[in-house]
């Protein structure tokens, strides 16, 4: 992985990480999404799901499936519970990420990590790309998408890094306040930039 350019894409809930990563993917970029890996790891009858049920109680699983809404309420209300879940999931997610990176041969790879700034557990990432938007835009998007109240969204946001903390560690920033054409233009610009950086890495 030494010659591989690895971009960590992150942002707060509702910032538009999925829209940005999809735009990169449409340009042929390999995307490794830790949220998607997490969902696969907690699929029906998985070992990970069994461990979660043992840890948080069997009623967290209904008809063989994880009740994500119930689990979300538990972990956002209790930091100890949140850390327990992270200790179950993170080593498994990281293993899958490293496996996917070892199979990648594209000029660069994007790893989508929602809590990259908070957890700092992906030291092999070369650059951090933050998807940024106004906090009220985040709230409005999540209320509509997840059918949550404003207070529920704010509770989730309080468990995440602040907008200022994310921007402070960003190497690159995509502004995503809702203009799709602007988002796509920025993605194309960064795609060219990262392709150029990766070619210099390989030449060095």
Distance CA 161, CA 149 (A): 20
Give the confidence band of 196 by pLDDT, cuts at 50, 70, 90: very high
Domains of the chain, by residue range, sit at 1-29+108-204, 38-105
pLDDT tens by residue, 110-144: 999 999 998 878 999 999 999 999 999 999 999 99
Topology of the domain covering 1-29+108-204:
Rossmann fold (3.40.50)
Q: Is this model's pTM higher than 0.85 or not?
A: yes
CATH number of 38-105: 3.40.50.300
């Amino acid at each position: 992985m030494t010659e591989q350019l690895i971009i960590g894409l992150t942002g707060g809930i509702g910032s538009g990480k999925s829209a940005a990563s999809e735009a990169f993917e449409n340009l042929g970029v390999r995307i490794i999404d830790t949220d998607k890996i997490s969902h696969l790891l907690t699929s029906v009858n998985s070992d990970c799901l069994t461990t979660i049920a043992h840890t948080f109680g069997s009623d967290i699983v209904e008809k063989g499936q994880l009740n994500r809404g119930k689990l979300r309420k538990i972990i956002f209300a209790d930091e100890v519970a949140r850390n327990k879940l992270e200790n179950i999931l993170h080593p498994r997610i990281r293993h899958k990420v490293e496996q996917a990176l070892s199979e990648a041969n594209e000029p660069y790879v994007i790893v989508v990590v929602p809590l990259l700034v908070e957890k700092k557990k992906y030291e092999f990432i070369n650059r951090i790309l933050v998807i940024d938007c106004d906090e009220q835009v985040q709230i409005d998007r999540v209320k509509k998408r997840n059918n949550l109240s404003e207070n529920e969204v704010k509770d989730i946001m309080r468990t995440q890094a602040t907008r200022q903390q994310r921007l402070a560690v960003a190497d690159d920033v995509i502004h995503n306040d809702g203009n799709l054409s602007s988002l796509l233009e920025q993605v194309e610009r960064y795609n060219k930039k990262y392709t150029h950086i990766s070619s210099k890495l390989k030449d060095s």
